[in-house]
Structure 1
């Protein structure tokens, strides 16, 4: 609601003019009225003071000119002069200056007030008439005030407001208003009036007959059709006939009147929807029955290729589906995506209509354009009852979708253990192998532990590997379910797979390396206990030392654990350069690219990257001393190359580590190494030796005198 000020234009009273709407848009109508009254009183007070000054001036002039006249004569003369001017009132109260016109005035303070100019709170009030929208150069915006009043504003391109006022309400035409309210007498009178044009729309394509069908005014509809039968199939801007309007609003009696008057059953709207399709969409059996009884075509497709049957199936209305099937609806018609009604029922979980379609001969294993079957879609969407029914009807569980996955794969992906259990007996393991991926891979990748357990119990091969094509989809060339679980840091899944016999050494990039890189000592321990090769190399990135060390050197406890369980330590001290100067380390990508061919030849000669080169990487070099110190506990007499010596010399506290490497090494240490070499780490527990000696052999810090 906009604010109002009083416009003074004569005796016609107050006229509202609109001001700044952004200032008063949050005020209610009552608040605006109070504001207008207060402003009116303020303006009256100001103008009264002005009039008093003017009257005083006039009195002085009159007294000077007519010194021998009395005041009453002066007033009479003044009033005679202004008899043709209308009085100016600020409000409807009597003018105080007119109370004692018949009494003589001795002070001269009551002459008629001088005419004043109207004062607006805004220097540029909106114009009374809005600009022509067709020719207006600018933007027209609509908004609502805090009190709910709709406003319209015309703005120039520079943002200045040209016009702002309440949005004019559309005046409803008498005929359409009478139809809406059900005023049959008024409708009859207007219909019989020769001046009424029944073919004149109130808005694009919207005739009186559409209005009657929309509001369910049967009597009005009959009168309109008697007066103008040609309206029965006229279409709105959206292509809707009166029959389509009536069906869409579930106006059964109006639809019957239209059909009795020759309405065409098969005229479509702009979306190619027929009245029958619309009735199925509205899920109304009575409307469907009436249309079918009048001969509606049942197999017409909408713009998306859906038939009335497919729409009814999607809404699980068995009654409508039965009527359509009896009327000749075809079961195998597909929409634009190649989906048949049976597929729709499975996809949406509509078991009742699914049963009905199969009863009438629908193809249980029909496939959509992407190869998916009804069983595939039911599994994908987690419809357990539908999957159970389809499996009981011998649906083929070995037909893959466009990605090559079977329903079992999709169920594993979704994590539905119940559906997986139902599909396992119906799925061929040979067919699973041909897909190039096991459901175990998918369950491990998605952390579906319950599904993983069910698949393991069902006998799926825990060492199944991805096909070459699927392996190439991963940069690290992973191939086993165990790898997926390790990289997900899913310890429970790793434990299940290893307990079921998973081999931890099948992948190119070993799961043990992944676990070390993640810093997960629990997974590392599990993998080592189940035979993970600690000394494995990476074929694509050869090293002269175990590759797992690259990822574990930052975790000294993990590094020591690997050495305790057979990690090769001596290889870390083998260097082709020895005490000679080493070539500079290529730390940046540009440096490595510049000498790639030279490095490749040198790497082949060395057998791969050396440990002294790896430990010189900036992110690891600060740990060089402690790492070398740990390694010395697992080797005998070794020589430190010039690069390792440089690292130990770089920090004063590491001097004792350098001294530790100098020969001769302690005899007990050398004996320990010899025993470990002869017996092996895994057989130490079986030796008939005291516990303290066993701990010593395992590099556990303890004195031999403890026992």
Structure 2
């Protein structure tokens, strides 16, 4: 009745941007043509009316258009008011002046703009006065709950507003269906004259809308200092909370509007007022990086160490969001860097995780190593996990323990039960971080799954060499998945070059041929994978033998070459019946079986003996021993010459 009321989100893609071969019915093409034909006539704003229409609406428009055309395809004679352009203009006109739209679609041919709304929109006080004199009741709301007083406040027509308020004084605080008063609408639109007129007439300044937002809150949201000052002068409640517990001061601080903040504080706003999540205005300033607002609140005595409901401090939140000046200011004001959030993390933890060097540098001197240890996680873990190498290096230089282990509670959050920063670095295949940690004294043999095994899985020889050079166990096992042979061999079975590299450095190949069943019958293989979380499976893990591993479907096709490589690093061994059976199943592998038959060549047995006497610790240093080159190549299984 009195204009359009609720917002409608127009489609991003306008009608003329849609592809021509979209497969639409012909009637839609007609509607598209009609809209395009009048594009130059009706202009961009009117054309947007057609651009936002759905296909069903376009169909209706096309039908209407076709009914108005004569048999020759030309539009029938009609009055200008009934033409397509004119009908579009009827809706387009208020759209230019008013962004609020109806909650339902009003088609151009369905309605005329309300004369009351038109008069108010144009500021025609005489027309409004004449309507009232003629007996028209201008206090009846439309279906959206709007009355002409709301229209006047919305359009900023103070003359019409005064007329309507005096004629219907009881409607001054009447609400729309969204519970918006004329005062709220005037504030929202920044119509200060209307705002002042309504307040002088006795409008209640603290009536909120459905979201419990008052006019003062809206003034802060719009950064309208004059409106805020006017409302405070008329005793608006500066501590009213919206449905999130957010006050006008929270809103002003989030927008760093010092003028409004000053108005609110001097008007009685409580600086320690917290929202539903325990967040104060100072916390908002720290979180959003509003330094000027933060300084103002600190001067007013706001608690620098304020914490939210999850125990996160303002300093923690500033570190999390990378606000370097905020962190610097908070620390200068005595903010406690050792307040942990509900997860036990300190500001230094989150700064290391985010990779903000400047903040980490500021926090290291003021962070308690005891509190870090108590948290069950080192900032080194987080820096390594996120590949923040600069942070990792700075923490190492500051003396943080490179062998710090995750607490059991935190380690259990990872399926592989990792514990050390080194594991994170190797897991990420970060060679630089791995080298940093190893050079600083990281122990490569602490984790349940040896980092060497992870480097083998990645196939990264450089990482493997770094780990082995710093003492990684080349015969590493996994206690949770026991095998009779090193897990290093198990992990490298599909990479023969990696397997040979490990064997060259002294990995135990002999254990692969130590089968408890020998030439006797072997039990049937069970390839079914037990579910990890199956409550019915409570048995201890079965120790897996080499012959069982190479017989699995995933490895069986590699079994021959694997055995062939392993035989080069053992003396006289006996193949068990399962290995023989497996080799016999491939005709091309017959030579492998012959290779394993004892006795092995004397030259080969001598090589094995010399290698054992040299020792594993020095086998990788063969090039440096005072031995002939030919002998060194022989001991290294180098057959190139």
Shorter-chain TM-score: what band?
0.7 to 0.9
The match for 2:160 is 220
Deviation at 1:373, TM superposition (A): 0.6
Deviation at 1:563, TM superposition (A): 0.9
Whole-Å Cα distance in 1 between the matches of residues 558 and 170 of structure 2? 94
The match for 2:591 is 656
- Per-residue CA deviations over 1:349-393 (Å, capped at 9, x if unaligned) read 111101110110000111111101101111111212211211222
3-state DSSP of counterpart to 2:311: coil
- Per-residue CA deviations over 1:290-347 (Å, capped at 9, x if unaligned) read 1222222211111211111111101101111112111221111111111110111111
3-state DSSP of counterpart to 2:32: coil
The match for 1:185 is 126
- C-alpha contact (below 8 Å) 2:607/2:635 kept by paired residues: yes
1:377 aligns with 2:312: no
Whole-Å Cα distance in 2 between the matches of residues 270 and 681 of structure 1? 77
- C-alpha contact (below 8 Å) 2:252/2:260 kept by paired residues: yes
The match for 1:314 is 254
User: Within 5 Å, which residues of 2 pair with 1:17-36?
Assistant: 22=28, 24-28=30-34
The match for 1:633 is 568
Instruction: Summarize the Cα distance change of 1:507–1:38 in structure 2 as closer, same or farther, 3 Å threshold.
Output: closer
3-state DSSP of counterpart to 1:290: helix
- Considering only CA atoms, is the larger Rg found in Structure 1 or Structure 2? 1
Whole-Å Cα distance in 2 between the matches of residues 42 and 638 of structure 1? 98
Instruction: Summarize the Cα distance change of 1:410–1:526 in structure 2 as closer, same or farther, 3 Å threshold.
Output: same
Instruction: Summarize the Cα distance change of 1:42–1:345 in structure 2 as closer, same or farther, 3 Å threshold.
Output: closer
- C-alpha contact (below 8 Å) 1:378/1:386 kept by paired residues: yes
The match for 2:424 is 484
The match for 1:695 is 633
3-state DSSP of counterpart to 2:338: coil
Q: TM-score, normalised on structure 1?
A: 0.74
3-state DSSP of counterpart to 2:604: helix
1:273 aligns with 2:273: no
- C-alpha contact (below 8 Å) 2:396/2:402 kept by paired residues: yes
- C-alpha contact (below 8 Å) 2:88/2:108 kept by paired residues: no
- C-alpha contact (below 8 Å) 2:90/2:112 kept by paired residues: no
- C-alpha contact (below 8 Å) 1:696/1:702 kept by paired residues: no
- C-alpha contact (below 8 Å) 2:90/2:113 kept by paired residues: no
Select the residue among 506, 520, 539 that pairs with 1:580.
Answer: 520
Select the residue among 451, 468, 476 that pairs with 2:408.
Answer: 468
The answer to which of 583-592 and 685-694 deviates more is 583-592
- C-alpha contact (below 8 Å) 1:149/1:166 kept by paired residues: no
- Per-residue CA deviations over 1:6-50 (Å, capped at 9, x if unaligned) read xxxxxxxxxxxxxx955732332879999899964699xxxxxxx
Whole-Å Cα distance in 1 between the matches of residues 143 and 538 of structure 2? 82
Whole-Å Cα distance in 1 between the matches of residues 68 and 282 of structure 2? 72
Whole-Å Cα distance in 1 between the matches of residues 222 and 197 of structure 2? 20
The match for 2:54 is none
User: Within 5 Å, which residues of 2 pair with 1:51-200?
Assistant: 168-191=109-132, 193=133, 195-200=135-140
The match for 2:288 is 348
Select the residue among 234, 237, 256 that pairs with 1:294.
Answer: 234
The answer to which of 522-531 and 498-507 deviates more is 522-531
Whole-Å Cα distance in 2 between the matches of residues 346 and 592 of structure 1? 45
- Per-residue CA deviations over 1:625-671 (Å, capped at 9, x if unaligned) read 22222222211222222222223323333333222222332333222
The answer to which of 653-662 and 212-221 deviates more is 653-662
Whole-Å Cα distance in 1 between the matches of residues 488 and 73 of structure 2? 90
The match for 1:257 is 197
3-state DSSP of counterpart to 1:623: helix
Deviation at 1:588, TM superposition (A): 2.8
Select the residue among 629, 647, 650 that pairs with 2:582.
Answer: 647
Deviation at 1:202, TM superposition (A): 4.0
- C-alpha contact (below 8 Å) 1:692/1:702 kept by paired residues: no
1:546 aligns with 2:481: no
Select the residue among 210, 215, 219 that pairs with 2:150.
Answer: 210
Deviation at 1:429, TM superposition (A): 1.6
- C-alpha contact (below 8 Å) 1:482/1:497 kept by paired residues: yes
In the alignment of these two chains, the number of paired residues is 565
Select the residue among 514, 518, 522 that pairs with 2:462.
Answer: 522
Whole-Å Cα distance in 2 between the matches of residues 654 and 526 of structure 1? 36
3-state DSSP of counterpart to 1:313: helix
Deviation at 1:506, TM superposition (A): 0.3
Whole-Å Cα distance in 2 between the matches of residues 253 and 587 of structure 1? 83
Whole-Å Cα distance in 2 between the matches of residues 600 and 366 of structure 1? 51
Instruction: Summarize the Cα distance change of 1:396–1:597 in structure 2 as closer, same or farther, 3 Å threshold.
Output: closer
- Per-residue CA deviations over 1:264-303 (Å, capped at 9, x if unaligned) read 2222222222222221111111111112222222111112
Whole-Å Cα distance in 2 between the matches of residues 429 and 661 of structure 1? 58
Instruction: Summarize the Cα distance change of 1:545–1:277 in structure 2 as closer, same or farther, 3 Å threshold.
Output: same
Whole-Å Cα distance in 1 between the matches of residues 307 and 368 of structure 2? 19
Select the residue among 573, 590, 600 that pairs with 1:665.
Answer: 600
Q: TM-score, normalised on structure 2?
A: 0.81
The match for 2:552 is 617
Whole-Å Cα distance in 2 between the matches of residues 304 and 600 of structure 1? 53
The match for 2:453 is 513
Whole-Å Cα distance in 1 between the matches of residues 162 and 509 of structure 2? 101
- Per-residue CA deviations over 1:124-146 (Å, capped at 9, x if unaligned) read xxxxxxxxxxxxxxxxxxxx99x
Whole-Å Cα distance in 2 between the matches of residues 222 and 687 of structure 1? 104
- Per-residue CA deviations over 1:587-621 (Å, capped at 9, x if unaligned) read 2348999xx999969x5xxxx32222222222222
The match for 1:303 is 243
Whole-Å Cα distance in 1 between the matches of residues 201 and 391 of structure 2? 63
3-state DSSP of counterpart to 1:663: coil
- C-alpha contact (below 8 Å) 1:586/1:592 kept by paired residues: no
The match for 2:335 is 395
Select the residue among 240, 246, 262 that pairs with 2:180.
Answer: 240
Whole-Å Cα distance in 2 between the matches of residues 558 and 271 of structure 1? 65
Deviation at 1:148, TM superposition (A): 6.7
- C-alpha contact (below 8 Å) 2:141/2:147 kept by paired residues: yes
- C-alpha contact (below 8 Å) 2:448/2:479 kept by paired residues: yes
- Per-residue CA deviations over 1:135-161 (Å, capped at 9, x if unaligned) read xxxxxxxxx99x97999xxxxxxxxxx
1:430 aligns with 2:436: no
Instruction: Summarize the Cα distance change of 1:346–1:571 in structure 2 as closer, same or farther, 3 Å threshold.
Output: same
- Segments ≥4 residues shifted beyond 6 Å: 29-38, 147-151, 590-593, 596-601
Whole-Å Cα distance in 1 between the matches of residues 176 and 284 of structure 2? 32
3-state DSSP of counterpart to 1:622: helix
Instruction: Summarize the Cα distance change of 1:495–1:469 in structure 2 as closer, same or farther, 3 Å threshold.
Output: same
